[in-house]
Amino acid sequence: MKPSVFWKSIAVALISGLAVSVVAQNDKSPPTKRRARQRTPAQERAAERRTQQQRAASKRRAEQRVSKPRPGRRRAANPAAPQGLQRKPRVERPVLTEAELDLTGPRIVFEIVSGEEEWGEIVIALDEVHAPRTVANFLRYVDEGFYNGTVFQRVIRDFIIQGGGYVSATEPKRSGLHSPVRSEARNGLRNLRGTIAMARRRDPQSATSQFFINVVDNPGVDADSPRGDGWGYCVFGKVVEGMSVIDRIQQVETRPGATPGVDMSPSLPIEPPMIQRAYRVIGEPEELPPEAGSPEGIESLELDEDAPDAEEYEDEEMPVDDPEAEGAQDEESGAEPRDPNDPSDTPRRTD
């Protein structure tokens, strides 16, 4: 065969194969379309019914998924369910009113001076009925002369005046402190104008010698305040004479705290009024009780068995309110040493 004829036959074969391939490709169509074209009208109607049924079933399943609670989520309370399965309502503790404050117990006197000027006396009646441990702790400091020479180191107008722990506006009194007294703040007594309450740190069981006097009604520091920590500050008496002296103290000139970023409110008196002398006028001092935080002291005082968490701190060693000791503990734990003027351990205005 001649070469020219050979190459011509090869070219014809290639062109023929390519043409057949293009025709076959154009003739291909999706199977569904091919089947659709082959369906009769009855088959089309049957296929449409099946599609509608499938859509209805999918919708029902979706509605069931929405109505069923997901695992781990609580269902809403069912009125028809047994009582044992219902969440128990929170029982509110009964709260005493200011009229139920018992003022027949011991009374003490603070002689107040400012510089060389005598400002007068503050007479406070103590409630041994509702706060027996706190009153015993407070009288211990009075009888030992601890409060003599201490000042009101924190004064916030229309809120509180606080004292019982500093010999100047910035120098705490470290000698003579005893173990903290267990909190009786849930005794129901309100922080009303003229009442005296114990100051403390964040730990509700940390009150020692410091106290504050409410110059207005302060429901935000009560034990049942929704804005508080659930403990509040323990009221244990009321000023019965000398509210004019209290109002004069709250008017003294103040400045922000000594430590920037710690207490920037103007609560530090420039010339803090002093308790020159503190003594009893009603209720003779008996033999001094054991320290309030010791096991012997706990046994010697009546415990409120109905008080919640009454045994929580029974065996716990409670810290002494000593800024130096606490600073040492902070260093061991790696935390920042606590500033003695840090107001976080004292009541804050919540309005």
Q: What is the pLDDT of residue 41?
A: 86
Q: What is the pLDDT of residue 297?
A: 39
Q: What is the pLDDT of residue 117?
A: 94
Query: Which residues is 256 bridged to in the sheet?
Result: 266
Residue given tokens 């190459």 in the structure block: 7
Domains of the chain, start order: 103-285 (2.40.100.10)
Residue 136 phi, psi dihedral angles, 5° rounding: -60, -40
Q: What is the pLDDT of residue 138?
A: 97
The per-residue pLDDT string of the chain (351 residues; one tens digit each, 9 = 90 and over) reads 556 677 777 777 777 776 666 555 655 555 555 555 677 888 888 889 999 999 999 888 888 776 665 555 555 555 555 555 455 454 454 444 444 888 889 999 999 999 999 999 999 999 999 999 999 999 999 999 999 999 999 999 999 999 999 999 889 999 999 999 999 998 889 999 999 999 999 899 999 999 999 999 999 999 888 877 888 999 999 999 999 999 999 999 999 875 555 556 788 999 999 999 999 998 766 554 454 444 343 333 333 333 333 333 333 333 333 334 344 333 333 333 334 344 445 666 665
CA 292 to chain centre: 26
For residue 304, what are its two tokens?
């409120």
Q: Contact, 278 vs 122, CB < 8 A?
A: no
Residue ranges of E strands in 49-92: none
Q: What is the pLDDT of residue 299?
A: 35
What is the pairing mode between strands 107-114 and 274-282? antiparallel
R_g over Cα of the chain: 41
Q: What is the pLDDT of residue 228?
A: 77
Query: Can you tell me whether residue 332 is helix, strand or coil?
Result: helix
Q: What is the pLDDT of residue 307?
A: 36
At 15, the amino acid letter reads I
- Short-list 270, 150, 160, 146, CA closest to 216: 160
For residue 206, what are its two tokens?
């940390």
User: In sequence order, what are the residues at sequence separation of 6 or more whose Cβ sits closer than 8 angstroms to the Cβ of residue 336?
Assistant: 330
For residue 171, what are its two tokens?
């120098």
Residue 321 gets the label, from left (phi > 0), alpha (psi -120 to 50) or beta, of beta
Q: Contact, 126 vs 106, CB < 8 A?
A: yes
For residue 103, what are its two tokens?
């003022």
Query: Can you tell me whether residue 151 is helix, strand or coil?
Result: strand
- 265 CB neighbour count, 10 Å cutoff: 15
